[in-house]
Structure 1
Amino acid sequence: MIRVLIADDHQLVRKGLVTLLSKVEGIQVVGEASNGLRAVEMAASLLPDVVLLDMAMPGLNGLRAVELIRAKAPNTQIVVLSMYSDETLVRDALGKGARGYVLKHSSHTDLVHAIRAVSEGKTFLSREISPPPSQE
């Protein structure tokens, strides 16, 4: 069972994700956070397998939240959910420790693939996002 924490400042988005993911075999939503700081606190206490993290939240932005979650829950993988496909933002999120980046207009299937991929230590990017250049 993949344990997932959902962090988004929009209640409707959180509830929609909970509803969608509750129907997926092998995935269990273990918590919801409405801001970046709460996401960090909940990740540290719940130690989920995956955090779905909105990039733009009040109090603590997504990039800083990625850093803090990686520091406090190093075995937790992070999938950033965002409306923005800006290459710099994607690169920064991955550079700070996110394993996935999914655009909010992506399909439910893509989100499930992202959760499963990052839980296995793989990287997942929405199709519209170019992979970052390799760090060789």
Structure 2
Amino acid sequence: MIRVLLADDETMIRAGVKAILTAAPGIEVVAEAGDGHEAVELVRRHRPAVALLDIRMPRLDGLQAAEELRRTAPETALVMLTTFSEDEYIVRALGSGVSGFLLKSGDPYELIAGVRAVAGGAAFLSPDVAHRVINHLGTGRLSRAAEAKERLAPLTGREREVVALVGAGLANGEIAARLYIVEGTVKAHVSAVLARLGLKNRVQLAILAYEAGLVDPAA
């Protein structure tokens, strides 16, 4: 059972997200919070596998709560809930150690898939979020694409396959099954690539995969 904490200051949003998650087999919402400070306290108390955090919340916003939870509850995977109006927040959050980004207005199946993915150790980016992040990076998009391709150029063919599947939101076990290799080898590839490229987490690696054209944001 995947235990989830849900934090959002809008009661209707919490109710809707909770209804979607509790209807999905294998997912349980163990706590709800109306602000970032309460979210931090409840994560510490319940130790859920996944915490869904609204980016904009009173007392502590989602980014501040994520930074605190990275220090005090690193075993909980963090997913940011966002809207189309919060691109700058998303860009800021890329370096905060979160495992994924989901749109509040997205497909319910995407929400369920995202929770399951990050609970399994994967990064998960809503395709719409990934597309907007890359667009938000601005007029240098073509140069950034070239830079991303150049950064990935020294990787082996197998490493590039792994990076592409990380970008597609697959967990290590799923990547192993897809490539017919053992999960430990996938983990070693991901760790080596993160270290070689100077990246902090799988979300940053997924964004790089999108920028380099290894994943289609519109897919």
TM-score of the superposed pair, with normalisation by structure 1? 0.91
**Unmatched runs of 5 consecutive residues or more in structure 1:** none
Of structures 1 and 2, the one with the larger relative CO (CA 8 A, separation 6+) is 1
Letter of the aligned partner of 1:38 in structure 2?
E
1:80 lines up with 2:80 in the alignment: yes
Q: Report the 3-state secondary structure (helix = DSSP H, G, I; strand = E; otherwise coil) of the residue aligned with 1:121.
A: coil
How many residues are treated as equivalent by the alignment?
133
Preserved contact between residue 50 and residue 119 of structure 1 (Cα < 8 Å): yes
Question: 1:2 — aligned with what?
Answer: 2
What per-residue deviation string (whole Å, max 9, x for no partner) do you get for residues 58-106 of structure 1?
11111111011111111000110011452x4323223111101011111
TM-score of the superposed pair, with normalisation by structure 2? 0.58
47-56 vs 13-22, which deviates more?
13-22
Q: Comparing both structures, which one devotes a greater share of its residues to helix?
A: 2
Q: Report the 3-state secondary structure (helix = DSSP H, G, I; strand = E; otherwise coil) of the residue aligned with 1:32.
A: strand
Q: Distance in 2 between matches of 1:15 and 1:73?
A: 25
Preserved contact between residue 100 and residue 123 of structure 1 (Cα < 8 Å): yes
Q: Comparing both structures, which one devotes a greater share of its residues to strand?
A: 1
Alignment of 1:1-136 (within 5 A): 1-84=1-84, 86=87, 88-128=88-128, 129-130=130-131, 131-133=206-208
Q: Distance in 2 between matches of 1:70 and 1:46?
A: 15
Q: Between the two proteins, what is the percent identity of the paired residues?
A: 41
Q: Distance in 1 between matches of 2:40 and 2:31?
A: 12
Q: Report the 3-state secondary structure (helix = DSSP H, G, I; strand = E; otherwise coil) of the residue aligned with 1:79.
A: strand
Give the aligned CA root-mean-square deviation in angstroms.
Answer: 1.4
Q: Distance in 2 between matches of 1:49 and 1:92?
A: 23
